[in-house]
């Protein structure tokens, strides 16, 4: 996702700006002599957000479209709390609610059916192009939440795993592109053997076997855009996994299938999530650039967006260049980014809050 002010589109590693944020103290790990992060508590970050302060009496209608489902309304409880608490401060603003799928969100925005689109994932290049084709300018995006570390349905971070015996401990996005891709748009050369990643001895000549999501579904599309520079040319040896449905209705998740396969392959590398980790595999630290710094996936590194495969939940609005937004829409977006709005997000969803400094900057730019 590329960020310039509150404009949000797809991030590339060459254009993404990260910040540092210390959120938790440290404690000693018994017997190790090393410090480890204390358990993360999202509430500890709330004091760093600005409380909501109205910029006057707002009016108008906010028509929300996007992330949600008739069967499993991921956002319903959160959005209803946002609306209820906002109404206590701005009773003159009305709301319409049509949040039953991300796929409808951007289309509703550029056709005028809605004026606030909340997505369940990063905007797709196709949706962004459709908006620009219709309107002649880009939609304005605001980051409103950070994807979870490992909570299902709340856009958990992508992680890269190797077998526990593997000597490799960290990789850059450029190295990941070279392993999982073919075209290498960043200028790298394809990497197909562990020795090319620094492994020595018996590992040096061993071929790398990649595992991952289906490359043409939303998980694969995120990795393709973030890591492969939106190239469609994956490593042809990748083994793809989809959800497997059993006759009794239970599901063998794709992420679980991926890491179960990796557990049987000492020379594999896999895209999955720590919720599916087993004792035979371990995640790698990742860095935006060759030479680091490298980051483990933790709540802190996701919120600060230091970890390269963090997911972001954006909202989009149709903001004509040079014109102001309606007061009700502006104030509601500011509320979502406030201390009260982020508290509701923490308490009513599995998402992590955004970086408080990013929230403050985005609020200031909504004028």
- Give the per-residue pLDDT at 170: 98
Work out the average pLDDT over 140-157.
95
* Domain range annotation of the chain: 13-27+40-148+310-365, 159-296
69-78, 127-136, 165-174, 289-298: segment of lowest average pLDDT: 69-78
How buried is residue 71: exposed, middle or buried, by Cβ count under 10 Å (0-12/13-18/19+)? exposed
Other CB atoms closer than 10 Å to residue 184's CB: what's the count? 17
- Give the per-residue pLDDT at 82: 97
How would DSSP label each residue in 128-148? HHHHHHHHSSPPEEEEEEE--
Do the Cβ atoms of 313 and 119 come closer than 8 Å? yes
- The 3-state DSSP class for residue 31 equals coil
Q: Do domains 13-27+40-148+310-365 and 159-296 have the same CATH topology?
A: yes
Q: Which fold has domain 13-27+40-148+310-365?
A: D-Maltodextrin-Binding Protein; domain 2 (3.40.190)
Work out the average pLDDT over 334-346.
97
Query: Per-residue pLDDT tens for 59-102?
Result: 999 999 988 777 777 788 999 999 999 999 999 999 998 887 88
Q: How far is it, in rounded angstroms, from Cα 312 to Cα 333? A: 16
- Give the per-residue pLDDT at 34: 36
- Give the per-residue pLDDT at 18: 31
Question: Residues near 285 by Cβ (< 8 Å), separated by ≥ 6?
Answer: 169, 170, 171, 294, 295, 296
- Give the per-residue pLDDT at 16: 32
How buried is residue 322: exposed, middle or buried, by Cβ count under 10 Å (0-12/13-18/19+)? exposed
Task: Give the tokens for residue 179.
Answer: 């392993």
- Give the per-residue pLDDT at 12: 38
pTM score, whole prediction = 0.86
Torsion angle, CA of 212/216/217/222, rounded to 10 degrees?
70
Q: Which fold has domain 159-296?
A: D-Maltodextrin-Binding Protein; domain 2 (3.40.190)
Question: Residues near 256 by Cβ (< 8 Å), separated by ≥ 6?
Answer: 272, 276
């Amino acid at each position: 996702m590329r960020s310039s002010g509150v404009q949000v589109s797809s991030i590339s590693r060459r254009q993404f700006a990260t910040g540092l944020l210390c959120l938790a103290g440290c404690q000693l790990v018994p017997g190790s002599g090393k410090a480890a992060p204390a358990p993360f508590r999202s509430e500890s970050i709330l004091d760093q957000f600005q409380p909501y302060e109205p910029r006057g009496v707002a009016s108008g209608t906010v028509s929300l479209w996007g992330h949600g489902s008739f069967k499993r309304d991921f956002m319903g409880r959160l959005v209803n709390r946002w609306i209820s608490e906002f109404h206590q401060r701005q009773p003159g603003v009305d709301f319409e609610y049509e949040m039953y799928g991300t796929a409808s969100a951007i289309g509703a925005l550029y056709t005028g059916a809605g004026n606030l689109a909340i997505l369940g994932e990063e905007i797709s290049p196709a949706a962004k192009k459709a908006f620009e084709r219709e309107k002649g300018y880009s939609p304005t995006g605001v980051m409103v939440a950070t994807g979870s570390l490992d909570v299902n349905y709340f856009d958990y971070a992508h992680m890269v795993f190797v077998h526990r015996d593997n000597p490799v401990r960290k990789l850059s996005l450029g190295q990941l592109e070279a392993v999982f891709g073919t075209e290498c748009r960043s200028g790298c050369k394809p990497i197909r053997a562990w020795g090319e990643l620094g492994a020595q001895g018996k590992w040096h000549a061993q071929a790398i076997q990649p595992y991952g999501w289906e490359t043409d579904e939303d998980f694969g599309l995120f990795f393709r855009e973030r890591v492969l520079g939106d190239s469609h040319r994956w490593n042809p040896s990748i083994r793809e996994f989809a959800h497997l449905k059993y006759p009794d209705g239970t599901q063998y998740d794709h992420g679980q299938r991926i890491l179960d396969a990796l557990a049987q392959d000492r020379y594999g590398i896999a895209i999955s999530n720590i919720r599916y980790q087993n004792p035979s595999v371990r995640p790698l630290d990742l860095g935006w650039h060759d030479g680091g710094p490298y980051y483990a996936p933790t709540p802190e590194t996701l919120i600060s967006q230091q970890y390269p495969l963090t997911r972001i939940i954006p909202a989009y609005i149709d903001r004509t260049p040079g014109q102001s937004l309606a007061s009700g829409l502006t104030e509601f977006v500011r509320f979502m980014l406030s201390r009260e709005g982020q508290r509701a997000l923490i308490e009513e969803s599995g998402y992590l809050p955004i970086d408080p400094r990013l929230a403050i900057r985005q609020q200031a730019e909504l004028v």
